[in-house]
Structure 1
Amino acid sequence: MRMLLKVQMDTPASNEAIKAGTLFKTVEGALEALHPEAAYFTVEDGCRTGYIFFDLTDTSELPKISEPFFLGLGAKIHYSPVMNREDLAKGLAAIMPGN
């Protein structure tokens, strides 16, 4: 299932991770494990924030994905299932009258 992982990093914890040289290692490790379709980084609510789009094959993977962000960056994590254009077209076609 295509998922959006929103990682909102605690500012003091991520400041320390930058100083220690571990922030990029934490993020890069997650990206290598997830093989994301896309990953974007910005600021939201005054916090460093990442939006990572990836395929979740099994919900048992969630702790492995989340814990590095919790432990290393004091992050808040949010998962949302998402659709691309083709998924939306398929979903809408399935609810059209006569299908």
Structure 2
Amino acid sequence: MRVMLKATLDTEKSNELIRSGKMPGLMQETLGRLHPEAAYFGPLSGRRTCLLVLDLQDSSQIATTGEPFFAQLGAEVEMIPVMNAEDLQKGLSQL
């Protein structure tokens, strides 16, 4: 199941990680573990935000996928089912 993960980072926790120099390593480790199809970073609604497109093989992966963002970044996390163009075409062909 393809999902878009939106992690809105806690400003104070992420400031702390940036000041300590730990943010780059944490992001590299997280991206290395999750293997996103795409990863984007920027301010949304004035807060640091990560947008990752992931292909989860099983719904049980939701827990392990979101947990680092909750525990280490104090993030608000949303996971939204999404389709790429190929998925959309396949779905529409079944209508």
TM-score class, shorter-chain normalisation, is over 0.9
Q: Which residue of 2 aligns with 1:59?
A: 59
Per the TM alignment, residue 25 of structure 1 is displaced from its structure 2 partner at its CA by 2.0
Equivalent pair of 1:70/1:76 in contact (CA under 8 Å): yes
Structure 1 letter corresponding to 2:11: T
Q: Which runs of 5+ in 2 are unaligned?
A: none
SS across alignment from 1:69: helix
Deviates most, 54-63 or 7-16: 54-63
Equivalent pair of 1:17/1:72 in contact (CA under 8 Å): no
Q: Which runs of 5+ in 1 are unaligned?
A: none
Aligned residues: 95
Pairwise CA RMSD = 1.1
Structure 2 letter corresponding to 1:79: M
Question: What's the TM-score, normalizing by structure 1?
Answer: 0.89
Equivalent pair of 1:26/1:68 in contact (CA under 8 Å): no
Question: What's the TM-score, normalizing by structure 2?
Answer: 0.92
Q: Which residue of 1 aligns with 2:28?
A: 28
Structure 1 residue runs of 4 or more that deviate by more than 6 Å after TM superposition: none
